[in-house]
Amino acid sequence: MTALVPPFTPETALAKVRMAEDGWNSRDPEKVSLVYTEDSVWRNRVEFPAGRPEIVEFLKRKWEKELDYRLIKELWAFTDNRIAVRFAYEWHDDSGNWFRSYGNENWEFDEQGLMRRRFASINDMPIRPSERKFHWPLGRRPDDHPGLSELGL
């Protein structure tokens, strides 16, 4: 495979999206932060982390709250150094209430393929445990597990 750096092709954009999904499903804030520039700027709901240390702290808080987190990302569109994705993830809080969070992200990359800007819009929907669709063991989504479109999401 070609390097996952701009300018993106359909193949490299898809691979970049899957790499991001795999990283976030690891729930390892330090590891995830390494794909962002040192001075990366985010908008995530009402938070605006800037730089890797703030991103790590944000992700630690996120995964302390969003338990049994499982995420699927899907490529929406791309240009030379930008990728747009839609995503859904399922999680529960410490009281056992389940949610499916839906959203869109816009990403901008530097020449080395590190993400320098990430803008996320996210909505949470309470779901019953019987409505869950993401049942793989924690970690990377298996290759044969359906994506968002196949699940009707």
Domain boundaries along the sequence of the chain: 10-131
**36-44 and 115-127 as β-strands: parallel, antiparallel, unpaired?**
parallel
**Integer angstrom CA distances of residue 136 from 30, 102, 130, 133, 140:** 23, 19, 15, 9, 8
Give the C-alpha separation, 8 to 85, whole Å: 14
Residue pLDDT, tens place only, 88-130: 999 999 999 999 999 999 999 999 999 999 999 999 999 999 9
Judged against a pLDDT cut of 60, whether residue 11 lies above it is answered with: yes
Residue 150 pLDDT grade (very low, low, confident, very high; cuts 50, 70, 90): very high
Residues present in the chain in total: 153
Give the C-alpha separation, 63 to 93, whole Å: 10
Note whether 113 and 51 are within 8 A (CB). Answer: no
10-131 is classed CATH 3.40.50.300 = no
Residue 3 confidence (pLDDT): 74
Judged against a pLDDT cut of 90, whether residue 2 lies above it is answered with: no
